[in-house]
Amino acid sequence: KVMKKASFIGVSTTTTFYLLCGCLGYAAFGNKAPGNILTGFGFYEPFWLVDIANLCIIIHLVGAYQVFSQPIFSAVETWITNRHPNINFLNHDRVLVIGKCFRYKINLFRLIWRTLFVIACTFIAILMPFFNDILGFLGAVGFWPLTVYFPTEM
C-alpha cells in the first residue's frame, strides 16, 4: 500500500512536469518547438554548462531506464515461471563462487532475458535517427506499464 502511494506520487509528479513542458512548449512555439531546450534557442555559451546539463540528462536516463524497466522484467519473469514451474533453467539459481570470499546467486534465465531486452531496446534506439525519438520511445516503454497496466493489475 505504501509503495502504491509512493509510485502514484512519483508518476503523477513526472506526468505533471512532462505535460507542462510539452503543452507550454507547444503553445509557445507550435511545431517549431526545439527538441533540445538547452541549445534550441542558440544558447551554446558557455560550453561547459551545456555539457554538464547533458551529462545530468544522461545520468537521469540511465537511472530512469533501470527503474522503469523493473516492472517489465518482473511481469515477464513471473509469467514465464508461473507458466513453466518445472523447468529448472527458469526457476533455479546457480551459485557462482569467486575466490574464497565472494558467492553470487545467478539465475541464467533472468540474466539472458534482461540482456536481450536491453539489446533489443538499444537496437531499436540505434535504428532511430534522432535522440528525441529515442527518448520518446524509452519514455513510452517505461511509462505505460507503470501508469496504465500495473496499477490496474495491483
**Confidence band of 139 (pLDDT split at 50, 70, 90):** confident
* Highest-scoring range by mean pLDDT, 3-12, 57-66, 145-154: 57-66
For 49-59, how does the pLDDT look when each residue is reduced to its tens digit (9 = 90+)? Answer: 778 888 888 88
Query: Using alpha carbons only, how large is the chain's radius of gyration in Å?
Result: 20
Q: Are 79 and 72 in contact (CB under 8 A)?
A: no
pTM over 0.75: no
Whole-angstrom distance, CA of residue 57 vs CA of residue 6: 23
pLDDT per residue over 1-27, tens digit each?
Answer: 666 777 777 777 877 877 887 788 778
In the prediction, which pLDDT does 154 show? 62
Q: What is the DSSP string of 1-42?
A: -HHHHHHHHHHHHHHHHHHHHHHHHHHHHGGG--SSTTTTTS
Continuous H helices in the chain: 2-29, 47-83, 88-91, 108-127, 131-144, 150-153
Report helix, strand or coil for 107.
coil
- Residue 42's pLDDT is 66
Q: Where in the chain are the domains?
A: 34-153
pLDDT of residue 54: 80
